[in-house]
Structure 1
Amino acid sequence: MSSAWLEQLDLLIRSRTPIIWIRSLEEERVEALLAQACQRLGGRLLLRWDFIDGLSGSPNRLGEAARNPMLALSCLEAVGPEQGAILLLRDFHRYGEDAGICRRLRNLAQSLRRCPHTLVITAPDWSLPAELEDSISLLELPLPAADEIGQLLGSIATAAGQPLEAAVLAQLTSACHGLSEQRVRAIAARALARRGQLGATDLAEVLEEKRAAIARSELLEYCPSEASPADIGGLDALKQWLEGRRMAFGEEAQRYGLPLPRGVLLVGPQGTGKSLTAKAIAHSWSMPLLRLDVGRLFAGLVGASEARTREMIQRAEAMAPCVL
């Protein structure tokens, strides 16, 4: 996890930010990061609430406020100010249209500034009510970084009694970049169930998992890149550039400080090989090729196009390095 993100989370909690909205689908990861933050900040109490199971995290109050979101917002009031607590609310964005809930949150935002308690809402989007925008601080949880993925895969393999070689671990870590922690765990579990170990042979399954993730977004299409530069007629200058820049993505080039290639502009009428050239670039550099249909970005609702554009950029960045 990025140290800057953790520092931002700690800063918001220490500065008595009353309500933090974390956008993420990874509930377990959010909870683990909050638990670590509680330890870093002097052993604060971490409480959790969801609609079905109610309150958890306090032995004396298990199941409290089940199916009662209004009562859940009162849970922090019973915690003394000498310890400080964080209350994690799952799926609470679904109550944004409830006038009573919104009013209670606004009142709570004022009272929490006077005590060391923090309310954290985890949700898959930014669908917070307009009247709460000034009362809530927003944080977006990025997908796992390379070091997180490497540690996760290494710990899973070691726990299974099949430690990974450094080269294989690096390959799998790079291949899993852009996947959530839950999906990385699922890939590792399937590999262990199938063969009893993780290895380089699992790269194809990682690629298939990425294809499925891209297909679910409906914004990007994962394209095969079987064409090579040899299939392109002409464009000798481009071929030389591709060959010369092939090594710019390696660790040695990064240590040397070589800049990454930014992009290529291909201009020409239909049928002159622009799409073929894009496939050849992806094949030459051994990268995934993503195709964006700009028409899919535009939706009927006001603001939807901007949201889809942000989602597309986020997914493309998560797949990096890639050819878009």
Structure 2
Amino acid sequence: MPALNRIGTIREDEAVICVLKDFNPTLRNPERSDNYPVIRYLKTLARQSRSSRKSIILMGPEAVVPSDLREEMVVCDFPLPSTSEIERIITSVIPPNLLQVSGLALEQLIRACQGLTRQRVERILVRALAAKGKVSEGDIDLVLEEKKQYIRQTEILEFYNPSETLQNVGVENLKAWIRERRNSFSVQAHAYGLPSPKGILLVGIQGTGKSLCAKTIAREWRMPLLRLDVGRLFGGIVGESESRVRQMIQIAEAMAPCVLWIDELDKAFGGVNSEFSGDSGTSKRVFGSLITWMQEKTKPVFIVATANNVRILPAELLRKGRFDEIFFVNLPNQREREEIFQVHIQRLRPNRVRDFAYPELAMASENFSGAEIEQTIYDAMHMAFNQDPPREFTQEDILGAIRQTVPLAAIARDQIQDLKAWAAESGARTASRDQHLVHELQTLVQKRGLGPIEVDSPSSFKFSN
């Protein structure tokens, strides 16, 4: 309060800029009895300053605007350092004779620093310099580890460095779509006039590999992967949720080009248009901010969203412009189940890949999801390991584990049929190149009288309404 009193005594004809620091705790809790007089006096000073030459600047790590000050304040967000600014930081902090990176290595170091604050970049460089007396290509891993820690501290985003490749997934149509757009973020694509891809929505029941697809896209395009936990966007303090959305957008755009993975979108925004949300409209404001950014964003942030129950999502989220494409991820077919078994055996027992009959395993595991197939292998390993003495697991162990497993498809049969009906109605593309699924969805369309189907081949399967 003494600082505000001092500002109040400044003459109206005196040109002055008043900078107030560390006011966020007061602004965040305006209802407290000792904070409200401060908020009220700030409002009075702001109105008085309209006819004077003094300006008041509040500085803080995040934008906190109490309802009493919304009409009096303008929020200015300072972006995280750009690539050119990061390069200047590197060259100014590290002496030229100690900076042993150039060309492609320097470009990779700069990209690794994207999304970090100026202070963190400087701190990492100083740490590397103190440890080895130089900054080299090997310090890129140090930067990436620091980035993981920083992003984890936001409690909103998680940084992933995926190792999964497209060979780990069997969704052929989705693979083809991803590969076609592999170079769409390049300078040449921009010069050609191509807009950067916006994103895709993957719809399917649990365990069908939607999350794995997000990781493979980032790996295929050689981009950093950020996972957004939408539930963490919602804070208990007034204005905190909106501030977290802005923070998430700022970090994602600072790291662009990148892949932003929004997992289980339906759990966060299902029923957001309901009249009985019970959160004073916070979820609607967060949802509105998010979809507006998805529509209007200019930075190359590719969104991979996943959903299990797509019918409860708001219609405005699914319209063209938010996503480039919507894919329906069905349970794996016979060939895909063979590939899934082989991928896991290759990872767990690379010297025994030829010891298993994958067609038989795939036939026995009909209607199993990829996650359930992986679990049956682990169950077989447990059975073999707990023998006396322990032995290697065999084909019969896996078949025994399959017989003891009740797949989710047997329990959620109605949900799967409903998702297929939705895919037929909405024109969602099938992620797999599955002729049986194509025929099944065609039949659903004809039964519901949804109009003609445009099908040239399973790989280009799509409905038109």
Length-normalised TM-score, structure 1: 0.68
2:250 corresponds in structure 1 to: 314
1:66 corresponds in structure 2 to: none
2:268 corresponds in structure 1 to: none
> How far did residue 134 of structure 1 move?
2.0
> How far did residue 306 of structure 1 move?
4.4
1:90 corresponds in structure 2 to: 21
1:260 counterpart letter in structure 2: S
**Cα distance per residue 1:284-314 (max 9 Å; x no partner):** 1112222233343445556655444444333
1:278 counterpart letter in structure 2: A
8 Å contact kept, 2:4–2:42: no
Structure 1 unmatched ranges of 5 or more: 1-68
Write out aligned runs for 1:103-252 (5 A).
103-158=40-95, 162=99, 165-233=102-170, 235-252=171-188
> How far did residue 174 of structure 1 move?
1.7
8 Å contact kept, 2:63–2:243: no
Residue among 207, 211, 230 paired with 1:294: 230
SS in 1 for 2:51: coil
Structure 1 pair 111/273, CA: closer, same or farther in 2 (3 Å)? Answer: closer
d(CA) in 2 for partners of 1:320, 1:214: 14
1:172 counterpart letter in structure 2: L
SS in 2 for 1:200: coil
d(CA) in 1 for partners of 2:232, 2:38: 35
Write out aligned runs for 1:270-285 (5 A).
270-285=206-221
**Cα distance per residue 1:63-96 (max 9 Å; x no partner):** xxxxxx42355258558956x3322211023344
8 Å contact kept, 2:113–2:143: yes
Structure 1 pair 168/88, CA: closer, same or farther in 2 (3 Å)? Answer: farther
Residue among 67, 71, 81 paired with 2:3: 71
8 Å contact kept, 1:143–1:179: yes
**Cα distance per residue 1:120-168 (max 9 Å; x no partner):** 1112333333322222222122212222112111222246753753443
2:141 counterpart letter in structure 1: A
SS in 2 for 1:204: helix
Structure 1 pair 204/254, CA: closer, same or farther in 2 (3 Å)? Answer: farther
d(CA) in 2 for partners of 1:166, 1:80: 55
Q: CA RMSD in A?
A: 2.9
Structure 2 unmatched ranges of 5 or more: 262-465
8 Å contact kept, 1:93–1:128: no
1:10 corresponds in structure 2 to: none
8 Å contact kept, 2:158–2:227: yes
d(CA) in 2 for partners of 1:80, 1:211: 49
d(CA) in 1 for partners of 2:166, 2:119: 37
For CA contacts below 8 A with separation 6 or more, give which structure has more relative contact order: 1
Q: Within the alignment, does 1:263 sit opposite 2:199 as a pair?
A: yes
Percent identical: 41
8 Å contact kept, 1:227–1:280: yes
d(CA) in 2 for partners of 1:298, 1:117: 36
SS in 1 for 2:18: strand
